[in-house]
Amino acid sequence: MGPRSKSRRLGRTFYTGSPLVVAPLLLNKLLVTADGRSGRIVEVEAYWGAQDPASHAYRGRTARNATMFRRGGHLYVYLSYGMHWCANVVCGPEGEAQAVLLRALQPVEGLDLMRAARWRDQRRRDDRDLCRGPGRLCQAMGIDRSDDGIDLTRPSSPVWIADDGVAPPESPAGTARVGISVGTDLPWRFAVGDHPGLSRPVVRRSG
């Protein structure tokens, strides 16, 4: 009996909060694909629309970021460095362009599909690298731009988010976001503490 048998959907209201509320609540939820892949969300980052210089929406609406401006509960997918897809959970009300970047999953189901999607040569590979990093998790889950805009609240969607009863961490510490050049002082990265599948170790600022 796999996790999906006891999973339930998250209602639209779950996604209407701000990214700083939704991001930590997404920890320990399951990202599930229609072909049987699933992974537990262990690392996320909040992006706050027009207020956030690191956000794609900082300079307004474009064809690429249009999905960010929809109401919460949709999937925003974009291409990074010309070769990696990155998946975001849109949250907040319509027009706010708030989103949560999914940075790492703990693989749960469909690991064979994930391995096949990630690696042509399976030798010398570590399953901890399947979904460790925003580009890797999209490759493992088979997510690309064709999934941009799908409804994450529907179990019938190609990708959706399920709650299988595992609670999020009680008070995950916010730490600095990764891979950006502006807004680096904002502690908007949230992770399940000490999880081996994090894209990077959680390091709190000493100052």
Partner DNA sequence: GTCCCGATTCCCT
Partner DNA sequence: GGGAATCGGGACC
Which residues make up the interface to DNA (CB under 7 A)? 45, 47, 54-57, 59, 62-65, 68, 76, 79-84, 86, 88, 99, 101, 118, 129, 133-137, 139, 177-181, 199
For DNA, the closer CB: 42 or 164: 42
For DNA, the closer CB: 63 or 167: 63
Do residues 184 and 176 make contact, with C-beta atoms less than 8 angstroms apart? Answer: yes
Instruction: For residues 90 and 41, give the distance between their C-alpha atoms in angstroms, rounded to a whole number.
Output: 15
CB of 13 to DNA, least distance (A): 22
For DNA, the closer CB: 13 or 184: 184
- Using alpha carbons only, how large is the chain's radius of gyration in Å? 16
Instruction: For residues 166 and 119, give the distance between their C-alpha atoms in angstroms, rounded to a whole number.
Output: 30
Do residues 59 and 109 make contact, with C-beta atoms less than 8 angstroms apart? Answer: no
Instruction: For residues 107 and 36, give the distance between their C-alpha atoms in angstroms, rounded to a whole number.
Output: 12
For DNA, the closer CB: 157 or 199: 199
CB of 199 to DNA, least distance (A): 6
CB of 9 to DNA, least distance (A): 23
DSSP letter (8 states) at residue 194: T
For DNA, the closer CB: 47 or 164: 47
CB of 2 to DNA, least distance (A): 25
Instruction: For residues 158 and 152, give the distance between their C-alpha atoms in angstroms, rounded to a whole number.
Output: 9
